[in-house]
Amino acid sequence: MHGYKEFLDEILISEQDLQERIAELGAQISQDYAGKQPHLICILRGGVMFLADLIRHITVPNTIDFMAISSYGMGVRQSTGKVRITLDLQEDIRDRDVLLVEDIVDSGYTIATVLEFLRTRHPNSLRVCALLNKAERREIQVPIDYCGFVIPDKFVFGYGLDLDELYRNLPFIGTVNPERYHPGE
Ligand code: IMP
Ligand code: MG
């Protein structure tokens, strides 16, 4: 856990700002899904913190499930555009009102692939809730129905997002100073 302060450039989104925005998103989702029972699908592992906090603000009955996809390798900072499903859902989503919960949309390939995969299983509805949106990095258009924050093109960590698998537990979103970050040291 030690050391992140050495390469933390700035706290981009504070714990308080995150929690306030997530409460708003939860309220909006509760309103939009009134009379329904949304099925929230979290993409492991980056989305877990967000999902856990978000569902505490959802007041309609809801269920959750998890899936995992192949992610960046160590030290690699670019999406390859190739995404592989490594852990499938436990529950059938046919006729369900599915809400995909993701930590960050960058190039858009991950969400695009996952949406395509989920659509083949015929949910009743399918929407996307992303905490962070690096809008200027988008390479493929994807719908984001609920967005927490639009952020600049900087590598971020904390609040579920990792830096070479570390620092997911930090309660805020920070940016990395690449000149001061030396993995493995
Ligand atoms: P995309 O397929 O390029 O949209 O990438 C989405 C995935 O890349 C996210 O789910 C994250 O796992 C990862 N990712 C993209 N940008 C960042 C970042 O700044 N910090 C940590 N992970 C990131
Ligand atoms: Mg992710």
pLDDT at 1 over 80: no
Whole-number Å distance, alpha carbon 36 to ligand 1 midpoint, is 30
Strand partners, 33: none
- Residue 107 to residue 134: CA distance in whole angstroms: 8
173 lines ligand 1 (CB under 6 A): no
Whole-number Å distance, alpha carbon 72 to ligand 2 midpoint, is 9
pLDDT in tens, 128-180: 999 999 999 999 999 999 999 999 999 999 999 999 999 999 999 999 998 99
pTM of the model: 0.93
Catalytic residue flag (residue 153): no
Ligand 1, atom 15, lies closest to the CA of 106
142 token code pair:
């994807």
108 token code pair:
């858009």
